[in-house]
Structure 1
Amino acid sequence: MEKTIRLLIIDDDCDMCDRLRYYLDPHKEIKVIGVAYNGIDGLDKLRKLRPDVILLDMIMPQIDGLGFLERANAEKLLENTKVIMSSELSQESIV
């Protein structure tokens, strides 16, 4: 039996989080273990839940995606976690 991927979604767009859960819930190999709507809450959930994968928005209030990564790396919270960053931004210089 294959391991279930434990996923944490960190995105300030509630509708996006709902859509992701809707599309991922039917897949038994992926379990959404938590959702955070900003970087501060995301760090707290990362510490508590220790997900296998984080789907991380780039632009969020309080702490953006890059700030989240800096803090998580400083605390060595990502040693066993993969991160996928996403953004609605399309400017190549920003992304």
Structure 2
Amino acid sequence: MANFKTLVKIHVSLGVVSFVLFGISTFSSDTLTESGKFYLPIVTFFFPAFHFSIAYGCQKKKEIARIVSRVTGFLLMPFFPVGTIIGFIIFENTKNKTSEIDA
């Protein structure tokens, strides 16, 4: 099975980091444009909620959470260098590790 405990830790960490990074620009800037005032709060809460929901699914050891986590890891790969490292770690921890018994 996939390493669900590590996936929970990774996605909770990503949720907190994305909330802090998006929240700084959302709540500390008075010079946002009209579109920024509308879309930035949505993004501030969407990405952390997305990662927290994946973390919850991984905590419950749901197969769909493993698949969504794997897709998320794959989508993080182009964001060099940090996204590549995080994406590779997520991708490696989502592998379906089954043990085969040799007859």
Q: Taking structure 1 as the reference length, what is the TM-score of the superposition?
A: 0.28
Higher helix share: 2
Higher strand share: 1
State the structure with more CA Rg. 2
Q: Taking structure 2 as the reference length, what is the TM-score of the superposition?
A: 0.27
